[in-house]
Amino acid sequence: MKLLFDGNFERPEIELSDSPAGLKNLGELLLDLNKEIELSAIPEESDFYPYNLKKIAFKINKDEQGINLIYISVAEEYLVLEGTSIALRKLGHSLLNCFNENSPDTSHIHLEYFPGNQLVAPTNCSLIIVCQR
């Protein structure tokens, strides 16, 4: 997994890329996640993103308000995705839906806030998840 960052903290743009198998594994992991985890990223030089983030952290919230959305943020050198187990499961299913062994390189999905989004909570982050062998 690679985590590229454009360095804009006002409106961060982050690219998470991995192989089809890696994205599928991540999707399966999120279906049954019951504790906080951190995954390390492999540094990569990019012509488009000047920075790398070191890790992605998945944090589980309790469903106190019935809001099952993913909260996306950048904290120091971490990409943090936080949500209830239901929210993380929705993300897991989305990854499994969108990525498989036949996915072409550069196929990707956008996770960013817009009014009415049923997956992503309000955030100024734009996360793009990319299939890259």
Partner 1 sequence: MQAGGRLLRAGDNLADDLLGAFGGRQLALEGVGNSGLPSRGNNVPLSQDNRPLAIITNRGGNPNQSTAVVPGASNSLGSLPPVPTPSSNSPISIDEALDLSEQFLIPGIPVNFAQSGTGIQVIQQTTNSQGQSIVIRIGFDVNPNSAHVRRFGPHLNLQTQVDGVIQRGALADPHIPIDPSTVRPGDF
Binding site for partner 1 (CB under 8 A): 4, 6, 8, 10-11, 13, 15, 46-49, 68-69, 87, 90, 93-94, 97-98, 106-110, 112-119, 122-124, 126, 128
Residue closer to partner 1, measured from CB, 65 or 118:
118
DSSP 84: -
Residue closer to partner 1, measured from CB, 33 or 38:
33
CA-to-CA dists, residue 37 to 22, 45, 71, 98, angstroms:
16, 25, 15, 23
Residue closer to partner 1, measured from CB, 37 or 98:
98
The least CB distance from residue 35 to partner 1, in Å, is 22
Query: Can you read off the two tokens belonging to residue 31?
Result: 């279906």
The least CB distance from residue 104 to partner 1, in Å, is 10
Contact between residue 91 and residue 40 where contact means Cβ atoms under 8 Å apart: no
Residue closer to partner 1, measured from CB, 22 or 38:
22
The least CB distance from residue 38 to partner 1, in Å, is 24
The least CB distance from residue 21 to partner 1, in Å, is 17
User: Please, how many CA atoms are within 13 Å of residue 105, restricted to the half-sphere of its CB?
Assistant: 2
- Residue environment code for 5-37, b if the CB has 16+ CB neighbours within 10 A, otherwise e: bbeeeeebbbbbbbbbebbbebbeebeebeeee
